[in-house]
Structure 1
Amino acid sequence: MTPRYLIGGVFGIQAFCAVFFVYDILGPFIGLRSDPIPWQVREAIEIGAALGLILGLLMGGLMTRRAFHGRREAEERLRRASGAFLDLLQERFAEWELTPAESDVALFAIKGMTTGEIASLRKTSEGTVKAQTNAIYRKAGVNGRSQLLSVFIEDLMRDDGAIRAAVSTGNGEAQSAPVPPSSSAA
């Protein structure tokens, strides 16, 4: 019996018993029934109701436990993905030979901050930040922020474990080319 059929069966038992007990209580008041049912039938239905409630309680507990377990797994995957993205950023920054200042500026740019916000955070002029972002784009082989970010998104979406490097096509566009994974990435 699959869990889906089991859930449906328990629901059916509980629904039948609920309808029976409501009918049994309200029937005489609204004139639907006047004769009592045999006690053996009543006992069987009450046993079925008790079993339905117990099974419903057990299944509810199991489903709650499964939901909490799934949530923990999802949180762990998200934590690992966040760490993997940070590792990927640092790996790429080292690969592109960015200076510490350029790495900071690149990280802020990837986070979506404006040139003015980056300059304010780094306590430097906007001209310096613009020069650093141009150096970052040149070293990364991209033309702007969106292409810089897309390099990292493509890396995270790869299935084969290879890392993609941005390669300039010569016509002002960046294209992704596969690069074998480094031994330090393992």
Structure 2
Amino acid sequence: MRGVATILAVFLVQFICALFFVGDIVASVLGLPIGPMPWEYRELLEVGAAFGLLIGLILGGVLLRRALADRRRAEERLRRASSAFGELLMERFDEWGLTAAERDVALFAIKGLSTAEIAAIRGTSEGTIKAQTNAIYRKAGVSGRPQLISLFLEDLVHDLKPDMETDPSRPAATPGAAD
């Protein structure tokens, strides 16, 4: 939330300073009378507005740099998570004793491809893919694709515990209540 407030503050400072300069130019072009003002005050206003734009530019650059660094960190975490998920898949496939063809079919099925799409990619018939998916489900001990996917989701979220204190939208657990 603090980052949003900072961005809004930078935007507001730049807007006010730009408005001063644009308003001054428009007033000059249209010949609008501006009340008398000592030149010293006018110079201070112009210097202040220019300084405000400069500060906005610098803070905008800092925020952009920070946003790019956050993006790089997020991409790295995603890459690691993707790698860990791939390792998890391979471990499970090894445990289940899947053949190379079954591994390919299982990966495509987990990615959400239909039987027809998998058959087209693998250059086989839909019947072959159905037989392979049935073998995969049997070896994994599940009855279908949703259960297969849920096995991996359970592994991924197994260690995550909801933090009831920081999530006010979740109701508090009642002592002695069954899960």
TM-score by length of 1: 0.68
Q: Which amino acid aligns with 1:145?
A: R
- Does residue 128 in structure 1 map to residue 132 in structure 2? no
> Within 2, Cα distance between the matches of 1:56 and 1:6?
11
Determine if contact 2:10/2:60 at 8 Å carries over to the other structure: no
User: 1:28-74: per-residue Cα shift (whole Å, max 9, x none)?
Assistant: 645443x5311110121122112112101101111111121122122
Match of 2:60 in 1: 60
Distance 1:122 1:40, change over 3 A: closer
SS at the partner of 1:36? coil
Match of 2:97 in 1: 97
- Does residue 145 in structure 1 map to residue 145 in structure 2? yes
What is the aligned length? 159
Cα RMSD for the two superposed structures: 3.0
> Within 2, Cα distance between the matches of 1:31 and 1:115?
73
Distance 1:11 1:116, change over 3 A: closer
Determine if contact 1:118/1:129 at 8 Å carries over to the other structure: yes
> Within 2, Cα distance between the matches of 1:137 and 1:15?
61
Superposition deviation, residue 8 in structure 1? 5.7
Match of 1:40 in 2: 40
Q: Which amino acid aligns with 1:129?
A: I
Match of 1:106 in 2: 106
> Within 1, Cα distance between the matches of 2:7 and 2:123?
62
Q: Which amino acid aligns with 2:99?
A: T
Compare relative contact order (CA 8 Å, sep 6+) and give the higher one, 1 or 2. Answer: 2
Match of 2:87 in 1: 87
State which structure, 1 or 2, has the greater radius of gyration over its C-alpha atoms: 1
Moved more, 57-66 or 115-124: 115-124
Superposition deviation, residue 4 in structure 1? 6.5
Determine if contact 1:13/1:48 at 8 Å carries over to the other structure: no
Q: Which amino acid aligns with 1:107?
A: L
Determine if contact 1:98/1:136 at 8 Å carries over to the other structure: yes
> Within 2, Cα distance between the matches of 1:126 and 1:68?
45
Match of 2:174 in 1: none
SS at the partner of 2:104? helix
TM-score by length of 2: 0.71
**Which 5+ residue runs of structure 1 have no aligned equivalent?**
162-186
Moved more, 105-114 or 11-20: 11-20
**Which 5+ residue runs of structure 2 have no aligned equivalent?**
162-179
Q: Which amino acid aligns with 2:135?
A: A
SS at the partner of 2:57? helix
Match of 1:168 in 2: none
Over the matched positions of the two proteins, sequence identity in percent amounts to 60
